[in-house]
Structure 1
Amino acid sequence: MNHRTTSLLLSASLLLGAASTVHAALPEEATLYKNPQCGCCDEYARQLEERGVSVTIVDDQDMGKIKQEAGLPYGLGSCHTVQMGGYILEGHVPFEAVERLFEQRPKVDGIGLAGMPIGTPGMPGPKREDWNVYQFTDQESMPFMTL
């Protein structure tokens, strides 16, 4: 092999290794709590499954109670709540933030994205604004990252 071919193969293997490391950081299983009529929640679950996470969907739960037990800050909720790898994901959290959570493993209860912003995973349409992902512990929030 010549030097150029060797460099290309090395670069490709590094890229593939980095991609598999990101996916390897995600837990194998998650539970998504939602209302039965919410199709965007089903789409978020499908996109998690595309990343290798087996998702159990639980419908017809008291979502207020789920969010309260999760320690979610008041007013920062969304349409679904995910329990995954010892953390809570609230709403349509972009997967870049989810991956960072599991790479860094901060001492928090979870991360969330309030509301249902257009363009986030599960929500159709183009991104219209910055997404302010927050982290939370015991119903107190702090910024996690902006995408």
Structure 2
Amino acid sequence: MLGAATRRGALLLAALTAAGAVRAAAAGPRIEVWRDPGCGCCGAWARHMRQAGFEVVVHEVEDVAPVKRANGVPEALWSCHTAIVAGYVVEGHVPAADVRRLLAERPPARGLAVPGMPPSAPGMDIPGTPYDVLLFGGSGGGDRVFARH
């Protein structure tokens, strides 16, 4: 028969395990970001994603171009950082809501991109400039507008 101390220890272990499982379930999708360590807007975009509930893992690299090439991002769509979430590429300052929509709809594509650095995109945060989020690498070829902001 278990002693009182052993039972308390077992109950504590079970409670801690359950709490960890709840925290893990509550965490949003994991998104890995490759960025230049000196780029402030990339850090601001990562904060935007964290605030939206994503688990953000940042990899600081001196040259992000090899990551872009390895993940099939066309040069015309390049921005300052590249991310991967659930098998999709997220290039540049894509809003968190668009990434959530991508994950919900799961279209047959490589990912989403906001080419360049539009001033009003998340992480840039200077309102007033419209921009498009593009879905790229789809089975039909070509890029299409996924969202307009």
For 2:135, give the aligned amino acid: Q
Report the counterpart of residue 128 of structure 2 in structure 1. Answer: 127
Report the counterpart of residue 117 of structure 1 in structure 2. Answer: 118
Separation in 1, partners of 2:113, 2:48: 17
Contact 1:27 1:85 in 2 (8 A): no
Separation in 1, partners of 2:53, 2:125: 22
Change (3 A) 1:93 1:40: same
For 2:29, give the aligned amino acid: E
Cα-Cα RMSD: 2.0
Separation in 1, partners of 2:71, 2:51: 25
| Same amino acid, percent of matched pairs | 35
Separation in 1, partners of 2:74, 2:37: 23
After superposition, give the CA deviation of every residue in 1:55-111 in whole Å (9 maximum; x if it has no partner). 111112531110011111122100000111111100001223212211211011111
Q: Number of matched residues?
A: 121
Contact 2:109 2:136 in 1 (8 A): yes
Separation in 2, partners of 1:32, 1:54: 11
Structure 2 unaligned regions, length at least 5 = 1-24
Q: How is 1:1-147 mapped onto 2 (pairs within 5 angstroms)?
A: 27-129=28-130, 131-137=131-137, 141-143=142-144, 144-147=146-149
Separation in 2, partners of 1:34, 1:92: 12
Scaled by the length of structure 2, the TM-score of the pair is 0.74
* Structure 2 counterpart SS, 1:75: helix
Structure 1 unaligned regions, length at least 5 = 1-23
Scaled by the length of structure 1, the TM-score of the pair is 0.74
